[in-house]
Amino acid sequence: MAMKLLLVALLALAFAHAAVLASDPSPLQDFCVADDSSKVFVNGAVCKNMNDVTADDFYTSGLDKPGNTVNNVRSNVTAVNVNKIPGLNTLGISLARIDFAPNGLNPPHTHPRATEILVVLEGELYVGFVTSNIGQTNRLFTKNLKKGDVFVFPQGLIHFQLNTGKYNAVALAGLSSQNPGVITIAKAVFGSTPPISDDVLAKAFQVDKRLVDRLQAQQWTDNNN
């Protein structure tokens, strides 16, 4: 009996440890500023020597400037993550500014490592996310947002934002990872390198292969412009 209890305790400890590792690594000191010069590859980034850390490691600027929305989707995301602020390393948080021209879209995408909380600073947005497969249903949750409104997108779920107003819109998004990652659905599916077989995509989307070929060609053009 004692051996069984010990085994159960060890299994519980292992599962708890795995759950902790499933998110950004927790800091074991005041901070761990990312050392971009290190050649060591770890999950996150190697810490810079504390004696070499300066205030600039926790600072960036320029988020007051609108992003360039002259593109096919008429939107622009300015990310402020560990690549911009090395001091975010191990802190499990980052930020993004999203600019929208009228009818601008932040296309359906996911953040594999972060939940997102978004606040509208200017304009009007139609936002939403889709649940994972629940039985045969993927539920869609949507909301029309105005200035000052806040919406949450759970980690890993496909979501989007569309400017439904007549004027430019601006939003700020907080993300629960120093490096949340982004997978833009259309770009990943139709613009991967090398491309996914058109047989696979035609069957998956139940469309003619010629349509898949056109979509892949269009995505390739977008990726190279």
Q: Which residues are annotated as a binding site for Mn(2+)?
A: 109, 111, 116, 159
Cβ contacts of 141 within 8 Å, gap of 6 or more: 128, 129, 130, 131
Partner residues linked to 158 by β-bridges: 130
Residues 187-213: b if buried by 16+ CB within 10 A, e if exposed: eebbbeeebeebeebbeeeeeeeeebe
Binding positions for oxalate: 106, 111, 116
Amino acid at 25: P
Residue numbers in the known binding site are 106, 109, 111, 116, 159
Query: What distance in Å separates the CA atoms of residue 20 and residue 2, rounded to the nearest whole number?
Result: 27
Backbone angles phi, psi at 49, to 5 degrees: -55, 130
